[in-house]
Amino acid sequence: MSGANESTLSSEVAAARAALRMVTGEPGVAKPDSILIADGMQRNFGGLAAVDVAHLEIPRHAITALIGPNGAGKTTLFNLLSGFDTPTAGHWSFDGHQIEGLRAYRIAQLGMVRTFQLTKALNGLTVLENMLLAARDQTGESLVGAFRPRKWRRQDAEHRTRAMDLLHRFKLDSKADDFAATLSGGQKKLLEMARSLMVEPSLVMLDEPMAGVNPALVESLLEHVQGLRDEGRTVLFVEHDMDVVMTISDWVVCMAEGSVIAEGTPESVAANAEVIDAYLGRVAGES
């Protein structure tokens, strides 16, 4: 990428973040530039409405945190948006594509890639194989293409360069040839994040990226998340740790009992009485 492009990109990101700060914080508010727009999302389990979100927009080029007490429906919403669960009702679009009813792999191919709360590093594959698996448009991944080893080996070599760069960035390069099973829990989170980047997503959805991660690693994970935004990606993440949320998010959405009860800048949400009542208050009361 040339220097000119990089500075255009960083000014674009900065402009998007500045514009976002002008938005009034209220549930379902429209953003100047939204990458993901969801309407009337409902998911009922039996008689229980796990998710009931009237309208939600995720701003482009920003880090949005999805917070809320346990059972608020955050992960269910994640599953709905990423195609891993089917809503009872609802429409949503990603980057101008209507994606409701699309299967999960098609949504990922459009550039909306998620990670999981319980890490899904593929233990029986090496760290590098985990990365190579995720690369797009591989000739050798088709039954016919598998018989063209010269072509796919050349592709694999190109992907390996990119994979090693990413592993280096996430400090996993020395582990490249080890089985992913040998990584620590925190390293698996890092691997999952690095692997999702091999898909070249424009929206990265992280489900509790810091859960179970050694505190010493949290800081570098935070830097990585901010790094994703700074290279032009949009981040949506679920998190419980309020310190983490306050440190890195540009926008915060708070859910309780399936609905969005507040959204806004981190400061405004932290000061919101309903949020304190539903979430922060409960935590403060416990400690």
Partner 1 sequence: MDWTRILSDGLRSGLGINAAVYALAAVGLNLQYGYTGLMNYGQAGFLLVGAYGTAVTVDQWGLPLPLAFLFGIAAAVGFGLLLGLPTLRLRADYLAIVTISAAEILKLLVNTRQAQGLTGGPQGINGFANDFFEWNPIAQGRYGFGAVKFSHRDLWVILVTWALVVVVTFVMRRLVHSPWGRVLRAIREDEDAVRSLGKNVVAYKMQSLVLGGAIGGLAGIMLVMDKQFVEPKLFESALTFFVYALLILGGLARLMGPIAGGMLFWFFVSGSQGFLIEAVDNKFLGIHHVLQTDDIGPVRFMIVGLLIMVLVVFRPQGAFGSRDDVRLR
List of residues contacting partner 1 (CB under 8 A) = 82, 84, 103-106, 108-109, 113-116, 120-125, 129, 132-134, 136, 138-143, 145-147, 149, 152, 156, 179, 181, 195-196, 198-199
Pick 127 or 260: Cβ nearer partner 1: 127
Pick 198 or 254: Cβ nearer partner 1: 198
Q: Cβ 144 to partner 1, closest distance in Å?
A: 9
Instruction: Give the Cα separation of 263 and 220 in Å (integer).
Output: 26
How many angstroms separate the Cα of 223 from the Cα of each of 108, 158, 175, 227, 249? 24, 26, 21, 6, 12
Pick 120 or 240: Cβ nearer partner 1: 120
Q: Given phi > 0 = left and psi -120 to 50 = alpha, else beta, which region is 111?
A: left
Q: Cβ 66 to partner 1, closest distance in Å?
A: 17
Which residues contact residue 219 at a Cβ distance below 8 angstroms, ignoring those fewer than 6 apart? none
Pick 130 or 259: Cβ nearer partner 1: 130
How many angstroms separate the Cα of 224 from the Cα of each of 82, 88, 129, 227, 270? 22, 35, 21, 5, 24
Cβ–Cβ < 8 Å for 186, 213: yes
Q: Cβ 148 to partner 1, closest distance in Å?
A: 9
Listed residue (19, 56, 72) closest to 265, CA to CA:
19
Question: What are the b/e assignments for 141-180, b being 16+ CB within 10 Å?
Answer: eeeeeeeeeeebeebbeebbeebeebbeebebeebbeebb
Pick 31 or 233: Cβ nearer partner 1: 233
Structure tokens at 112: 């909306």
Q: Cβ 142 to partner 1, closest distance in Å?
A: 7
Pick 189 or 195: Cβ nearer partner 1: 195
Q: Cβ 236 to partner 1, closest distance in Å?
A: 14
